[in-house]
Amino acid sequence: MTESYEGKHCETTALGVLLRHEGVELSEPMLFGLGAGLSFVYWDGKGLDFPFLGGRVKPFELTRTLAARLGLELDVRETASARRAWQNVAVELDAGRPVGLQLDSYHLEYFTSRVHFGGHVVAMRGYDAHHAHLVDTAQQGGAVTTGLASLAAARAERGPMTARNRSFTLVRHAELPDIRRLLAPALAECAEAFLRPPIANLGCRGIEKAAALVPGWLTRAEQPERQLPQAARMMELAGTGGALFRNLYRDFLGECADLLDDARVRTARELYAEAAAGWTEVAELVATAGESGDPAPLERAGRLLGELARIEREAMGELAGLR
């Protein structure tokens, strides 16, 4: 099995592998945008030692949305049984079909950051007596391997954002619909959800909440010299709240502008280019505050987050009327 896909975000990278096997070639920004993947969440709670900033919809929601929009058969398997979990994967791989897996990246032997994250997604394309052959993001090495025991531990981990040994496949039974007809509904759906979230820590309201709370992160952190730089790395490199997803959506809007020739889409694209640069600056300020112990960079980050909430609200306002 030779399918691979070079991507920046784990879920869209895995989807690219599964779709390529079905003869579907779409760019990573297009996968992300058609799946209405952009969002924001400010999440803090008793089970977390530090707040989590998320820049996307919750894990696997993008996959479900994309499959439905493209008319693909999505087969999802979950189980508490390690034996059944392996059988669910092996039977597909033995038939020549790659399989998507949701797991906790902490246990993967090749992973560069040893932090629990139960919403990580990879594509598995084969195995031997000792190792699983996976496709992960370009940052994590692309085509990689991990021991079968480590893979089982990653799949079975319980905690925030984890799933019960979740595996999934995609099958295309017919020609894809005209992509141009899918763009406006995808843009409007994402915009509406972002502008009118059900709770205050999601969407544009979530960014406003982050603007109010990030300036207090030095006192919130037990080990600010470690936790703030780590949060900044996650934001910028993993995309949990930073520029990665804004860059993907900017590029999706660029493709949409070419296909739809709509001034509202072009305006939103320019705004998201501005927002992506601002998120990179926020991450730099958070890291600086942790390394120096100085609260001033966090105060600047809070003001910038308030501006980013305004920019993204304006961009999504341009897109909400599309149908």
Helix H or strand E encompassing 126: strand 120-127
Residue 121, classed as helix, strand or coil, is strand
Hey, CA dihedral for 86, 91, 94, 99, is it positive or negative? negative
Report the pLDDT value the prediction gives residue 114, as an integer from 0 to 100: 81
- pLDDT in 10s for each residue of the chain, 323 residues: 557 899 999 999 999 999 999 999 999 999 999 999 999 999 998 778 899 898 999 999 999 999 999 999 999 999 999 999 999 999 999 999 999 999 999 999 999 778 888 999 999 999 999 999 999 999 899 999 999 999 999 999 998 889 999 999 999 999 999 999 999 999 999 999 999 999 999 999 999 999 999 999 999 999 999 999 999 988 887 767 678 999 999 999 999 999 999 999 999 999 999 999 999 999 999 999 999 999 999 999 999 999 999 999 999 999 999 97
Please report the pLDDT score of residue 1 as a whole number. 58
For 164, other C-beta atoms within 10 Å of its C-beta total 14
Radius of gyration of the chain (CA): 20
Helix segments in 22-147, DSSP class H: 28-34, 61-70, 82-94
Rounded to whole angstroms, how far apart are CA atoms 206 and 161? 18
Q: How far is Cα 301 from Cα 298, in angstroms, rounded to an integer? A: 5
Q: What is the per-residue pLDDT for 239?
A: 66
- Which residues in the chain are classed under CATH 3.90.70.10? 10-34+73-171
- Residue 32: the pLDDT is 98
The predicted structure's pLDDT at residue 47: 75
- Residue 116 is predicted with a pLDDT of 87
The letter for the amino acid at 240 is T
Q: Give the architecture-level CATH label for domain 10-34+73-171.
A: Alpha-Beta Complex (3.90)
Cα(31)–Cα(17) distance, integer angstroms: 12
> In sequence order, which residues have a C-beta less than 8 Å from that of residue 45 and are 6 or more positions away?
none
